[in-house]
């Protein structure tokens, strides 16, 4: 199966790869078409590397685009369409993975990285920059003497 | 004959590299002056041998020697000479050789310009460079040899992927590799410093220009790649969060952090351990970037070699270089004592904040890129991580950087107050709010915010220069005199920061682009973004190694002619492959962008785009690189580097 997918991708690469090549694919209502593009850009073309169905020239992407547009025209919400796609193809189809136990680490990365970075900076500051010890009484007296106007 | 000479030169270079590593490191360890003095010669020898090997490959390709497998697989008689030459690095084997050559050039440059370095430090730096080089050349010789022959030679080659036959892409790899490989020098300095257990301001003064040069090249290289995707792929996009693009972005992010933290080492003798770690990390990411992509672990549109034997060699090499340097870091870093103390609100504090955010963005990009294969491997879960994820996570981390970088240079060293930022940059903030407000009335929230941020960044970046020259407050002659005395690095930093603002403005403009897909027959007219596009004709034209269909489209604005655009589709017979040649017309405020699609029943599919401010995306990157280059010209970097007295001048 995997070899087949790879072969399919190679075959597709040799065709000019751009998304919609037929204006008849698009919905007549520009607002609906814009929404369909928005939804489609969240969905992965399953036989390509890292391309959304809006960007891909593959036949499967073409079919999925048609499904998205049918459902947009039928008045479904974005989340309904995404849910249908995930039910059918698994989370793999979403370019932005849903937050689950397995993707927790992925989504937490920005916060974790900031926390680790700030923590390291604080620890580093403490370790290499000991606060200068306060002056003792004799030093303070000497300082006062020096800074007294002559 | 010539390929054999090239093969021999490659093997010779590999031997030189091994010798350079052993002689340099052992000599420095034993404090043997003769061994240490021999190292630069070995580095220059390696460079010459690599130059010979590269020349041999170029000649074999230019003279159509199809008995060389690499040439037969990637070239053809009909290919234009320019692409026969540049095509030598457009394939896996050739690009590894180019990588080695650039690493050799780095070693040669350290040998020539490093005469004033302490001899032990120089020997160690060259030794580390030699060791890295030896690994790559061995990889090249054993698994990716560009000089393998096959007999009988085929009559003609298989030709090159037409997508790669493009002047922009021809020079993209060398520029990008100069960036990637250039970071090997700061890496070598970091490892050498760990071996010696000592870092001082002079070390920072040596590392900063190297990091800066590499950073400039990497910036240009990434911009060229993005520009190529924009005009060659014909999708109208410029950044796809593809693993290959991410691979170049990661070292850029840490490299940017390195350039900044090296300033602190140089000026304040602080952040030493951190800077060493960044130097190691940046080169490690450069290595992983180029080579993980090739091991086939992360597949992508761009990856052109997927071979498990190579993969294992690469992983071993990466493990050795990265693991070894990190182990050394863990053992030796505690020896490096830092000097300068600073308050949280200070120039140093600002630079630490910059480093934390840049590295966090880098962590997000790494995790996002590596998560799918690891989730598959460890959890058996198939997930995708694409553009929507990166946009949602990177943007919130980048915005504080954009806001802070305009005024960060206004903070004084050691301890500062936030009030001067307000008194010196209020006018930039006011302008940003005004621009953002005007935009908000005409467009969505996000582009309006981005235009506001771009204004803030472009104007705010010059607030330090304006402050230091007392522009508009002192007499003009006085300001000019002050400007002359201004360190060039201050101006360079202002320009580089403003360049980021230009890029943000371009990205914001691009998000407002309008496009239309139409079926057209000659004579049809379409309106888009205030322009009228009229298809005049469809015709066939021959090319050097392709046949093309060309559409002529007249663009007018309210009846006034603007341009005649000629997008085409090229069919390359030798690969049975078709590419689209996008027509772009720019006036630097907007791009007109037309793609010719399939033809059916005398009608052609056209994609029309009007992209406001699109060229600013890459223009901004050029401005950033120019700022970095200007900063290199700073007198302090040249004068501050130690120079050696002639032997006679030193009293005994």
Whether residue A81 is found in the same domain as residue A122: no
Q: Is residue A108 part of a domain?
A: yes
**Token reading at B383:** 């997930």
Residue with tokens 């790494």: B366
Residue B312 touches chain A, beta carbons under 8 Å: no
Q: Mean per-residue pLDDT for B610-625?
A: 94
Select from A13, A17, A110 the Cβ nearest to the Cβ of B364: A110
pLDDT per position as a tens digit, A4-49? 333 333 333 333 344 556 677 778 888 888 888 888 888 888 877 7
Q: Pairing mode, if any, of strands B514-520 and B547-557?
A: unpaired
Residue bearing the bigger pLDDT, B188 or B598: B188
pLDDT in tens, A39-75: 888 888 887 777 788 877 778 888 888 899 999 988 8
In terms of C-beta density within 10 A (0-12 exposed, 13-18 middle, 19 or more buried), how is residue B486 classed? middle
- B388·A17 Cβ contact <8 A: no
Q: Do A18 and B368 touch (CB under 8 A)?
A: no
Regarding whether A40 and A80 lie in a shared domain, the answer is: yes
Contact B229, B237 (CB under 8 A): yes
Whether B335 contacts chain A with CB within 8 A: no
Is pLDDT above 80 for B293?
no
What is the per-residue pLDDT across B361-399, written as a single tens digit (0 to 9) for each?
999 999 998 888 888 888 888 888 888 999 999 999 999
A/B interface, count of CB pairs below 8 Å: 140
Those of residues 18-77 in A touching chain B at CB distance below 8 A are 18-24, 26, 41-42, 44, 48-52, 55
Tokens standing for residue B207:
């590392």
Q: Count Cβ neighbours within 10 Å for each residue of B56-70 and write b for 16 or more, e otherwise.
A: bbbbbbeebbbebbb
Distance CA B648, CA B652 (A): 9
Q: Which residues contact A78 (CB under 8 A, 6 or more apart)?
A: A35, A38, A39
Q: Do A20 and A71 fall into the same domain?
A: yes
Residue (of B636, B566, B562, B561) closest to B596 by Cα position: B566
**CATH code assigned at A14:** 1.10.8.640
Name the one residue in this structure whose structure tokens are 């690891």.
B374
> What number of other Cβ atoms are within 10 A of residue B607's Cβ?
24
> Which domain range does residue A73 map to?
2-93
State how far residue A116 is from chain B, nearest Cα, in angstroms. Answer: 9
Cα–Cα separations (whole angstroms), residue B3 to B87, B142, B148: 16, 16, 8
Decide if B317 touches A, using CB distance below 8 A: no
User: Is the same domain home to A16 and A65?
Assistant: yes
* Binary contact (B356, A92; C-beta < 8 A): no
pLDDT category at B219 given cuts 50, 70, 90 is very high
Is residue A43 domain-resident? yes
Question: Could you tell me if A61 and A125 lie in one domain?
Answer: no
CA A90 to chain centroid, in Å, comes to 18
DSSP string covering B20-64, please? HHHHHHHHHHHT-HHHHHHHHHHHHHHHHHHHHHHHHHHHHHHTT
Q: Is residue A99 part of a domain?
A: no
Alpha carbon distance B180, B290 (integer Å): 8
pLDDT of residue B294: 64
Query: Above 80 in pLDDT, residue B192?
Result: yes
Using the beta-carbon criterion (under 8 Å), do A44 and B386 form an inter-chain contact? yes
CA distances from residue A35 to B103, B237, B548 in whole angstroms, order as listed: 49, 18, 36
pLDDT per position as a tens digit, B89-129? 888 889 899 999 999 999 999 998 888 888 899 999 999 99
State how far residue A76 is from chain B, nearest Cα, in angstroms.
21
Same domain, A10 and A75: yes
Question: Residue B299: is its pLDDT beyond 50?
Answer: yes
Cβ of residue B378 closer than 8 Å to a chain A Cβ: no
User: Taking Cα atoms as reference points, which of B496, B538, B531 lies closest to residue B514?
Assistant: B531
CA distance A121 to B274: 9
Q: How many domains are there within chain A?
A: 2
CB B364 within 8 A of CB A109: yes
User: In this complex, do B518 and A55 lie within 8 Å of one another by their Cβ atoms?
Assistant: no
Q: What is the mean pLDDT of chain B?
A: 86
3-state secondary structure of B587: coil
Pick A128's closest partner by Cβ from B338, B364, B393: B338
Is B78 in contact with B544 (CB distance < 8 Å)? Answer: yes
- Is the CB of residue B606 less than 8 Å from the CB of residue B597? yes
Same domain, A122 and A49: no
CB contact under 8 A, B397 and A110: yes
Whether residue A98 lies inside any domain: the answer is no
Q: What is the pLDDT of residues B15-44, one digit of tens each?
A: 999 999 999 999 999 998 999 999 999 999
- B454 pLDDT higher than 90: yes
The rounded distance, in Å, linking the Cα atoms of B604 and B568 is 11
Q: Minimal Cα–Cα distance from B507 to chain A, Å?
A: 18
Tell me which of A26, A96, A99, A124 to substitute to probe the interface with B (most B C-beta atoms closer than 10 Å).
Answer: A96
SS3 sequence of B458-508: HHHHCHHHHHHHCCCCCCHHHHHHHHHHCCHHHHHHHHHHHHHHHHHHHHH
The answer to whether the beta carbons of residues B344 and B415 sit under 8 Å apart is no
Looking at the structure, do residues A10 and A76 belong to the same domain, yes or no? yes
Residues of B in contact with A102 (CB under 8 A): 375, 379, 381, 383
For residues B318 and B326, give the distance between their C-alpha atoms in angstroms, rounded to a whole number: 12
pLDDT above 70 for B592: yes
| Contact with chain A for residue B360, Cβ under 8 A | yes
Q: Of residues A84 and B639, which shows the higher confidence score?
A: A84
Is residue A43 located within the same domain as residue A87?
yes
Please give the full DSSP string across A13-24, using - where no structure is assigned: HTS---S---GG
Residues A17 and A52 in one domain: yes
- Cβ–Cβ contact B570 with A under 8 A: no
Calculate how close chain B gets to A148, using CA atoms only, in Å.
27
Same domain, A25 and A61: yes
Contacts of B386 (CB under 8 A, 6+ apart): A44, A50, A52, A95, A96, B241
Residues A73 and A135 in one domain: no
Contact A20 B355 (CB under 8 A): no
**What share of chain A has pLDDT > 90, as a percent?**
13
Select from B256, B226, B299, B318 the least CA-distant residue to B497: B256
Partner residue opposite A97 with nearest CB, options B234, B270, B383: B383
Nearest CA in chain B to A42: B388
| Contacts with A19 from chain B: Cβ below 8 Å | 235
Is A33 within 8 Å of A26 (Cβ atoms)? yes
Indicate the residue among A73, A93, A113 that finishes a domain: A93
Distances (CA, A) of B418 to B411, B494, B545: 8, 19, 63
**Residue B504: predicted pLDDT:** 94
Domain boundary among A93, A114, A133: A93
Kindly determine whether residue B579 and residue A97, on different chains, have CB atoms separated by under 8 Å. no
């Amino acid at each position: 199966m995997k070899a087949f997918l790879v072969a399919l991708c190679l075959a597709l690469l040799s065709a000019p790869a751009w998304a919609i090549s037929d204006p008849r694919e698009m919905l007549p209502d520009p607002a609906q078409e814009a929404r369909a593009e928005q939804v489609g850009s969240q969905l992965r073309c399953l036989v390509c590397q890292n391309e959304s169905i809006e960007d891909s020239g593959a036949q499967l992407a073409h079919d999925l685009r048609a499904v998205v547009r049918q459902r947009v025209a039928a008045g479904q919400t974005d989340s309904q369409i995404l849910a249908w796609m995930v039910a059918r193809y698994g989370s793999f189809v979403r370019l932005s993975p849903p937050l689950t136990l397995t993707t927790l680490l992925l989504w937490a990365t920005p916060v974790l990285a900031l926390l680790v970075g700030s923590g390291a900076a604080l620890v580093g500051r403490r370790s290499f920059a000991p606060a200068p010890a306060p002056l003792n009484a004799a030093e303070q007296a000497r300082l006062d003497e020096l800074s007294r106007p002559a | 004959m010539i390929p054999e000479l090239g093969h021999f030169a490659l093997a010779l270079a590999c031997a030189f590299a091994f010798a350079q590593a052993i002689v340099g490191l052992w000599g420095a360890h034993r404090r043997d002056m003769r061994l240490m003095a021999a190292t630069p010669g070995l580095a220059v020898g390696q460079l010459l041998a690599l130059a010979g090997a590269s020349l041999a490959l170029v000649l074999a390709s230019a003279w159509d020697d199809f008995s060389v497998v690499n040439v037969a697989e990637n070239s053809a008689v009909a290919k234009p000479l320019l692409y026969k030459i540049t095509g030598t690095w457009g394939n896996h084997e050739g690009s590894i050789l180019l990588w080695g050559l650039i690493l050799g050039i780095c070693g040669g440059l350290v040998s020539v310009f490093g005469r004033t370095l302490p001899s032990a430090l120089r020997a160690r730096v060259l030794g580390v460079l030699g060791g890295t080089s030896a690994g790559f050349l061995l990889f090249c010789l054993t698994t990716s040899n560009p000089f393998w022959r096959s007999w009988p030679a085929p009559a003609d080659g298989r030709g090159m992927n037409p997508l790669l036959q493009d002047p922009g892409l021809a020079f993209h790899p060398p520029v990008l590799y100069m960036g990637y490989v250039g970071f090997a020098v700061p890496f070598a300095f970091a490892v050498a410093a760990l071996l010696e257990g000592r870092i001082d301001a002079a070390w920072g003064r040596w590392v900063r220009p190297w990091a800066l040069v590499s950073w400039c090249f990497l910036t240009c290289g990434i911009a060229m790649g993005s520009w190529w995707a924009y005009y060659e792929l014909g999708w109208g996009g410029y950044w796809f969060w593809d693993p290959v693009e991410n691979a170049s972005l990661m070292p850029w992010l840490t490299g940017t952090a390195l350039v900044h933290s090296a300033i602190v080492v140089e000026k304040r003798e602080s952040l030493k351990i951190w800077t060493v770690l960044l130097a190691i990390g940046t080169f490690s990411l450069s290595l992983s970037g180029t080579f993980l992509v090739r091991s086939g672990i992360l597949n992508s549109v761009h990856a052109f070699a997927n071979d498990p034997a190579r993969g294992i060699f690469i992983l071993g090499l990466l493990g050795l270089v990265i693991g070894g340097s990190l182990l050394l870091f863990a053992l030796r870093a505690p020896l490096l004592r830092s000097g300068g103390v600073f308050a949280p609100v200070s120039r140093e504090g600002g630079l630490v904040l910059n480093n934390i955010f840049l590295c966090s963005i880098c962590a997000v990009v790494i995790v996002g890129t590596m998560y799918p294969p690891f989730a598959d491997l460890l959890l058996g879960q198939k997930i995708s991580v694409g553009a929507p994820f990166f946009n949602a996570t990177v943007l919130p981390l980048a915005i504080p950087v954009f806001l802070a970088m305009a005024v960060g240079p206004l903070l004084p060293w050691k301890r500062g107050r936030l009030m001067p930022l307000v008194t010196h940059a209020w006018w930039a903030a006011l302008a940003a709010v005004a621009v953002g407000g005007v935009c908000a009335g005409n467009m969505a929230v996000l582009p309006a915010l981005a235009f506001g941020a771009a204004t803030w960044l472009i104007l705010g970046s010059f607030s330090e220069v304006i402050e230091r020259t007392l522009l508009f407050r002192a007499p003009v002659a006085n300001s000019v005199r002050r400007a002359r005395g201004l360190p060039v690095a201050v101006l360079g930093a202002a320009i580089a920061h403003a360049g980021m603002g230009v890029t943000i403005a371009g990205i914001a403009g691009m998000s407002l682009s309008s496009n239309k897909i139409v079926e057209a027959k000659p004579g049809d007219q379409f309106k888009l973004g205030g322009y009228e596009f009229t298809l005049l004709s469809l015709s066939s034209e021959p090319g050097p190694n392709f046949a093309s269909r060309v559409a002529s489209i007249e663009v007018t604005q309210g009846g006034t002619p603007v341009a005649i655009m000629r997008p085409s589709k090229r069919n390359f017979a030798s690969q049975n492959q078709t590419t689209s040649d996008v027509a772009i017309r720019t006036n630097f405020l907007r791009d007109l962008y037309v793609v010719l699609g399939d033809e059916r029943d005398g009608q052609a599919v056209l994609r029309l785009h009007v992209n406001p401010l699109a060229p600013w995306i890459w223009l901004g990157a050029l401005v950033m690189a120019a700022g970095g280059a200007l900063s290199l010209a700073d007198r302090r970097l040249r004068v501050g580097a130690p120079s050696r007295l002639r032997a006679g001048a030193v009293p005994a």
